[in-house]
């Protein structure tokens, strides 16, 4: 692991323990060159995932991008960051355990919507409005009806 201060490759692990959410290993490191101390979080990755986009492009799966999507949907909402981290970790585990190395943006979007629905109704509607490309107020009414458990009306 490279030192973030002096870029030395020769860092030493001083302490290692599971992270609070249990999905990562927290390591305290120090650099013998500059004396800098820093923390890293290491996650087990079951497989390399490729995301197939609607345009046909294929890109490597990015957990941080998934987390940013949650952060945007949950902006200014009072949701415990630990619950968000658990939701993101759960989605990643679901995707990795499908047995497929390629997932679609649609699969990811549906999992995100499912997770947001249980975290925060407002965030769910925010994400749905972008994911489903809402064009009129009726689109919002339909999603709000879903939250209330009302049947869809055409």
* Kind and range of the H or E run holding 104: strand 102-104
Q: What is the pLDDT of residue 22?
A: 66
What is the pairing mode between strands 102-104 and 50-52?
A: parallel
Q: Are 74 and 120 in contact (CB under 8 A)?
A: yes
| C-alpha closest to that of 104 among 114, 95, 93 | 95
| Section 122-147 average pLDDT | 79
* DSSP 8-state symbol, 150: P
pLDDT, position 145: 75
Express each pLDDT in 23-40 by its tens digit: 678 899 999 999 999 998
Name the residue ranges covered by the structural domains of the chain: 12-42, 50-148
Q: How confident is the model at residue 28, as a pLDDT? A: 93
pLDDT tier for residue 144 given thresholds of 50, 70 and 90? confident
Whether residue 10 has pLDDT greater than 80:
yes
- State both tokens at 111: 């999992």
What is the tens place of the pLDDT at every residue in 65-124? 999 999 999 999 999 988 999 999 899 989 988 878 899 999 999 999 899 989 998 898
Residue 100: count other Cβ atoms within 10 Å of its Cβ. 13
CA angle 153, 122, 75 (to 5 degrees): 150
> Residue 127 pLDDT more than 90?
no
Instruction: Give SS3 for 102.
Output: strand
The pair of structure tokens assigned to 10 is: 């020769």
Higher pLDDT among residues 14 and 128, named by residue: 14
Decide if 31 contacts 16 (C-beta within 8 A). Answer: no
Determine which of 1-15, 111-125, 139-153 has the lowest per-residue pLDDT on average.
139-153
Q: Who wins on pLDDT, 79 or 138? A: 79
Rounded CA separation 121/148 (Å): 10
pLDDT-based confidence at 44, cuts 50/70/90? Answer: low
Q: Cβ contacts of residue 70 below 8 Å, gap of 6+?
A: 84, 87, 88, 112, 115, 116, 123
Distance CA 127, CA 110 (A): 10
């Amino acid at each position: 692991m490279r030192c973030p201060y002096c870029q030395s490759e020769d860092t030493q692990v001083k302490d290692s323990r599971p992270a609070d959410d249990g999905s990562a290993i927290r390591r305290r490191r120090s650099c013998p060159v500059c004396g800098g101390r820093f923390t890293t979080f290491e996650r087990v990755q079951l497989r390399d995932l490729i995301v197939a986009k609607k345009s046909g492009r294929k890109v490597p799966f990015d957990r941080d991008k998934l987390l940013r999507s949650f952060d945007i949907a949950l902006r200014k909402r009072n949701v415990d960051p630990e619950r968000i981290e658990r939701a993101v970790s759960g989605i990643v585990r679901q995707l990795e355990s499908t047995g497929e190395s390629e997932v679609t943006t649609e699969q990811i979007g549906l999992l995100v919507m499912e997770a947001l629905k249980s975290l925060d109704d407002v965030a769910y509607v925010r994400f749905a409005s972008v994911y489903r490309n809402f064009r009129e107020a009726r689109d919002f009414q339909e999603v709000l009806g879903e939250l209330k458990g009302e049947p869809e009306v055409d």
